Structure 1
Amino acid sequence: MPRRPRPLVLPLVLLAALALSGTGPAPAATAVTGAVTAPAPGTYVPITPVRALDTRVAVGIPTRTPVPGGGIVPVDTTRVAGLPATGVGAVVVTLTVTAPQAAGYLTAWADDEDMPATSSLNWAPQQTVANTAVVRVGQDGRLLLESGSAAPAHLVVDVEGYVAAGKPATAGAYTPMSPQRVLDTRKAVGIATTTPLPPTSSTRLTLGGHGGPAAGAGAVVLNLTATAGTQTGYVALGGKPVPPSGGSVLTWRPGQTVASLVVAPLAPDGSVTLYVASVGSVHLVADLVGVLTPGAGTDPGTTTVALPYRQLDTRAPGATFGALAPRTSRPVSMAAGPLAVAPGTVSAVLVTVTVTNTRAGGYLTGYASGGRVPTASLVNWATGQTVSATVLLPVGPDGRIALWNGSVGAADVVVDLSGTVAAAVG
């Protein structure tokens, strides 16, 4: 997408504890006090989710007015409870737009860099949509958000955790990068043509290897976007999926533009294969935002990734339970497949959550089994829609996550596991 002239940056206020209305209470963003033990560079530290920005209720910004089209909002992570004032290389955030008056997109980047020609979130008019993103922060701990729209929209940011700054020196550690577009089938970026990807096709994207943008990496972190799909479909990693492995990492409806976080292990030749599971064509756009060092992560905060493996499908014959009932939560085991989670060994999991057969509009939240239901939603939907999101969720002491259906109607849920974050021992 073209770069815009830099618009006026909206003023920043210190984040304060404010009660929220309409969506229930959210954790407040406050200054951190007391000594914090510095984690190893490149390791991930989950925190209790903190709402750092909500333009509807003046959290992180002095007004309750929506962000104007082209407006830029700064977010100061040094004032977020649970994050240290220094030593943060990147933050894992849930970005949400609500009540937009026109279609648009959101760009997130560190405040000490130029605005990239990439996006982390896309929306249609009056749509509420969320996406998880890993965003590098500047040396001062701030990131910037630009609303790439012709009309105002409200923005919400929930901080889920952070990646420790510094050069990684262990397997499974993460290095954040300035967003770089590595695939755009509309513009022959990463591919030889500008034609949309055909039905049931595979696209091989070489990112590692000598001279590649992810040279020496074991896995890549992408923001993957589907646009102009002619039929409903989804993307799977590593070729045509064979259940229970090879679950979807991104789903779309005809004509929809939708983005999702994707963490993909690299093949020995440094490539990632994207399989289009649809009877129609689609354009794909991928932005590289970070890399993981090779090898399984065994040190605390390091990550191990694999191709997605199905943990739950409420539609499947013989499923332990059926559709998730309205306004209820349910624990989900992570004990299947190559990344099977044993209690006490993992602090967080990377999962793709898909909601389908929705009987009414609503939202889904995820959290550690035995914990409190958070305010931030993972996905939002209208009646009859199928939606998905890839998210990092904390794991309870029993090795499980929990999902809450915040709808007045039941919905089927599918969960695919593709990564684990090692927990501290003892």
Structure 2
Amino acid sequence: MKDTIEGFLDLVKERNGHEPEFLQAVEEVAETVIPYIVKHDIYYGKNILLRMVEPERLISFRVCWVDDSGEIQVNRGYRIQMNSAIGPYKGGLRFHPTVNASILKFLAFEQVFKNSLTTLPMGGGKGGSDFDPKGKSDNEIMRFCHAFMSELFRHIGPNTDIPAGDIGVGQREIGFLFGMYRKMRNEFTGVLTGKGMTWGGSLIRPEATGYGTVYFAENMLKTKNDSFKGKTIVISGSGNVAQFAAEKSLQLGAKVVTLSDSSGYIYDDEGIDDGKLKFIMTLKNEKRGRISEYVKEYPNAKFTKGKTPWGEACDIALPCATQNELNEDDAKTLLNNGCICVSEGANMPSTKEAIAAFHKAKILFAPGKASNAGGVATSGLEMTQNSLRYKWTREEVDNKLKDIMTDIHKSCIEYGTEEDGYIDYVKGANIAGFVKVADAMLAQGIV
């Protein structure tokens, strides 16, 4: 089995040797899915996983726009259309200086499994640009978004590819992108998700990824007859995902003690309550400030520069910032400090070595493709509302989100329960996501 896995990975490395993030994501899936393929004749010998790691389409394009000083700027734009076997491509757009083909391919590959787990008819894709919205005026962001969409519009549509937001792409950017799409195509369709409430958006969409991460962790804790009540929570990040993971944790009776950004993290031993969280939301969403400003408002808290919060004692850790932010040493520190549950809010925030440490300790660990699927699930619900020309209430959307996260958890248990009763959620999520896509690919032939 080891030779089979290594042979597959060697072939993928030969084709994608310069893309470390993508190779990391493929390796994690291969180690759990290939043994399953070998045991099931319906999949064995069909090279399904090899077909799944190759994007159906990789689009790269130049984006030229004019800044406020009148100078022409040039960025790269991408859209990775990974797999459409179970539905149109679906996945976010990321605007960040670190964006490249490797990162987007890893995100698109993960998205295929994540979307499959939701049980909604959505394929996987991802896109974005190395454009950095930070420090840009609203007019500069508008001009960039319009230039970006003037090329992307050729490749997307409500039944082809439905992008959403991601890092650097919030409701403002989605608005600018949608405006140009509507103009270029002369039609009003649900081609983007994460839209404003007055023009096709869904309630709970901004909250969905953070809420879903907590709902999944809540389901894991229930397998141990436990809950969030009275637990100490350490969260990384301070964007939408982290903010709403904190909000839902508070609603479930937990104590949140950290949030972070690229400059460092805050630790508040008294707990980040609803009032303090509202301050952070205003600071990050409206003022575009740094998390360090929290200690000026609440001097009893501390700010640690240039570090992640994994050295702080907690019961539950929610990594909600970015990929590979939690390494092996961090994992061991969390375990030594009594952490019993880790639920990933970001995409692949834990390194392979960190995950191995969590599995060795047999704590509850949820990979992002399962635990942070709430965002794309609610995007799927937004697509449904757009198709129906209808809007569900906040409570209706939240209940549907809870049901989807519960169903994902059940699928992980079905495919991830070991002989000793331990639930390997990584294995469960990978196999459950693979089976649905693989069955669709087999049914449709070699296309």
**Which TM-score band applies after superposition, normalised by the shorter structure?**
under 0.3
The structure richer in strand per residue is: 1
Bigger Rg over Cα: 2
> TM-score normalized by structure 1?
0.26
TM-score, normalised via structure 2 length:
0.25
| Structure in which a larger fraction of residues adopt helix | 2
